[in-house]
Amino acid sequence: MTVTAQLAAEPAADPIYQTDFIKEMLRQTRALDSYGQWDGKAPPQILDSYVLTRERKREIPVIGDPDDQIVARVKAFHNAIAVLIEKECGLMAVPYVMLTHEGFGRALIVVGKLLVMERTLRDVHRFGFESLSKMKTEADKYLSVALEVIGKYPEVAGM
């Protein structure tokens, strides 16, 4: 059974699709879809490209350059985290994703004058997660650290 078939088997029954993060990932992925490829597609089909199982990872060469679709997925992931930060603290969070053509770079999220998230990106052509729940878990880690930093330095975040 393919990953798409596994995801499509239980989209309504799977509680992960009801989480704020997954809903925001769907919104961000659709927002970055300038050609309407995702119009009318089910959530499991849209999020399938974020799931990178071991089998899928083996098919991707170790060295490679990211294409525009992969860069859009990286941006959608960090945009979703920024939106959740805004929802939680009420301050505007701005994501920055800077990548070289070889797939190396950084992702930052800034609130006011405060850097609340910094992540080094490597091998972006292999960007993905073993499952949607692992993707959500990683996003939750970044979200909790960012909110903790904002709570510690609210005057800088409010600038």
Domains and CATH numbers, the chain: 3-157 (1.10.3100.20)
Query: Token pair for residue 48?
Result: 């399938």
pLDDT confidence of residue 80: 97
pLDDT confidence of residue 158: 84
pLDDT confidence of residue 9: 47
pLDDT confidence of residue 11: 55
pLDDT confidence of residue 58: 82
Concatenated DSSP letters of 44-71: HHHHGGGB--HHHHHHS-SS----HHHH
- d(Cα 96, Cα 108) in Å, to the nearest integer? 5
Q: Distances from the Cα of 51 to the Cαs of 14, 43, 63, 95, in angstroms?
A: 16, 13, 19, 22
pLDDT confidence of residue 12: 57
pLDDT digits (tens, 9 = 90+) for 106-154: 999 999 999 999 999 998 888 999 999 999 999 999 999 999 999 999 9
Tell me the pTM: 0.87
pLDDT confidence of residue 7: 46
Using the predicted structure, report yes or no on whether residue 1 has a pLDDT greater than 70: no
pLDDT digits (tens, 9 = 90+) for 47-93: 999 998 888 888 877 787 888 889 999 999 999 999 999 999 999 99
What per-residue string of b and e applies to 41-74 under the rule 16 or more CB within 10 Å gives b? eebbebbbbbbbeeeeeeeeeeeeebeeebbbbb
pLDDT digits (tens, 9 = 90+) for 9-53: 455 578 999 999 999 999 999 988 888 888 889 999 999 999 988
pLDDT digits (tens, 9 = 90+) for 46-55: 999 999 888 8
